[in-house]
Amino acid sequence: MAAADDARDRTCSSSVYTSTYSQIRREFHIPQLEAVAGLSLFVVGLGIGPMILAPLSEFYGRRPIYLVSFTAFTLLLLPCALAPNIAVLIVFRFLTGMAGSAFLSVAGGTVGDMFSGVELGAPMMVYTASPFIGPEIGPLVGGFINQNISWRWTFWIMMMWSGLELALIYFLVPETYTPVLLRRRAVALRARTGEERYHAPIERLTRSIPRTIAWSCLRPFQLLVFEPMVLLLCLFTALLLGVLYLFFQAFPLVFGAVHGFGLQATGLTFLGLFVGMVVGIASDPLWARLRLRQVARNPHGGGKSEPEFRLPAGIVGGVLVPVGLFWFSWSTYKSVHWIVPILASAVFGTGTLLVFSAVFTFLVDAYPLYAASALAANSFVRSSFAAAFPLFSNALYSRLGYQWAGSLLAFFALPMAPVMAAFMVWGGAIRGRSRFAGGGGK
C-alpha cells in the first residue's frame, strides 16, 4: 500500500502543476505553451528515470533506491518553489520527475517480490491504478491552492507532504528484493562464523553497473522492435495516458470556457475520472473469478493460468474507452448539462483502468524473464505520449472543435478491443515463436 500511495502522489505532482498556469504566465510573461512544458518535461523525467533506477535496484535493493530518490525528489521541489524564471522551473520539473519515477518502476518489482501467480492480480490492480488516479487528484488539490494563494505554495505544500511520506518510507517500507536479502544473510553468516564459504548468488555476478544500465536502456527497445504484442499494447496504453494528460488542457476549456467554471470547480470535475477508476478497481474480483474459470476449462494448462487469461478486462476496457470519448466529445455543448461529460469521463476512466491493469499483468506473465524491460518499454512509450499530447491539445481543440477533437481520439482507440481479442485467441502461438516470451503461464 505504501508503494501504491507514493506512486499515486508522484503522478499527482505532475498534474497539480496545471493549476499554476495562469499565475505563472502572468508572473513570467510567457505563452501557454511554455507553461505546459513544465508538465511535459516532468512526464519525460518519469519515463527516463526507470531506465536508470530499475537496474540500480537489482544491485542495491528496493529500499535504498526509494530513500535516495525520494529524498532527491523532496529537495528538488525547493528550487521549483523559488524559481526566478520559467527556465529554472522547467529544468527542475524535469529533475523532480526523474527522481520521483522510482515508485513508478521499482515499486512494480516490490509488488512482484511479495506476490505471484493468482495472488498477483489484486495487488497489481491497486498498484496499476495508483499512478493513474494521482493525475485526477492533482487538479483538484491545485485548484484550491492556486485560487486562493500564490502558485509557489503549490510546491511548498508538495515539499511538506513529500517530507512526511519520506519519513513513513523510512520507518514502514522494508527491503523485499530476495537476492539482496540473501546477500545480507550471507554477510551476517560470514561475520558470525568467520568463514568465507557463505556467498549469495548476487555476490557472484560479474556484470558492472554501467553495463547493466546500458542493457536496461537497450532491451526495452528490442522488445518494442521484435515483439508485436509488446509494441501494440504499449501503444494502446500510451494513447490512453496521452488522452488523460490532454484532458488537463481540455477540461478547463470545456468546463471553464463553455460552462463558466472557476479554478476550484474545474478541479472538481476530475472526480468523474477518479470515480471511474475506482469502479475499475472494484471490478477486480469479477475478473479474478473469470480467470479461475478459464484455468479450470483449459484442457492443456495443467491447472496453470495463461498470460492471455489476463486480457478479458482489457477487452471490456477497450470497448468502454471509445464509448466514453465519443460520449464526452458530443456532450460538450453549452446546452448539455455539465454532469453529462463528467459521467462520460467516468466511463473513460473505468475503461482506462481495465486496459492498464490487463496490459501490465499480461506483460509480467508473458515475459517473465524480461518483465522489468517490458514494463520499462511501456513506461517509456506512454510517458512520451503523455508528454507530447498536452503540447498540441489547445491547437487540436481550437482547429477541430471540441466535438471532433475528442472524436478523433476515440477513432484511434477503436482497434483496442479487437486487437486484444485477437491476442486472446492467437497470443499463445505468437509467444511460442518469440525469443523473449516465456512459454508457460503461472
| pLDDT tens series, the chain, 442 aa | 655 666 677 778 888 999 999 999 999 999 999 999 999 999 999 888 887 887 787 778 888 988 999 999 999 999 999 999 999 999 999 999 999 887 776 766 677 677 765 666 667 667 767 777 888 888 888 888 988 899 999 999 999 999 998 998 888 888 887 788 888 888 888 888 887 777 777 767 767 778 877 877 888 889 999 999 999 999 999 999 999 999 988 999 899 889 999 888 999 999 999 999 999 989 988 998 898 888 888 766 666 778 899 899 999 999 999 999 999 999 999 999 999 999 999 999 999 999 998 998 898 888 877 877 787 888 889 889 999 999 999 899 999 999 999 999 999 999 999 999 999 999 888 988 888 886 444 4
What domains are defined for the chain?
A: 2-175+207-432 (1.20.1250.20)
End-to-end CA distance of the chain: 24
Q: List alpha helices for 269-338, DSSP H.
A: 271-282, 284-297, 312-329
Q: List alpha helices for 18-151, DSSP H.
A: 21-28, 32-60, 62-82, 86-100, 102-114, 121-146
Q: What is the pLDDT of residue 441?
A: 43
**Cell 494563494 sits on residue:** 149
Q: Which of 163, 158, 106 has its CA nearest to residue 137?
A: 158
Q: Is 336 left (phi over 0), alpha (psi -120 to 50) or beta?
A: beta
b (16+ CB within 10 A) / e for 364-390: bbbbbebbbbbbbbbbbbbbbbbbbbb
State the Cα–Cα distance between residues 78 and 226, nearest whole angstrom. 43
Q: What is the DSSP letter of 149?
A: S
Residue 390 neighbours by CB under 8 Å, 6+ apart: 36, 39, 40, 245, 246, 248, 249
41 in Cβ contact with 92 (< 8 Å): no
Q: What is the pLDDT of residue 439?
A: 46
State the Cα–Cα distance between residues 393 and 40, nearest whole angstrom. 12
132 in Cβ contact with 345 (< 8 Å): no
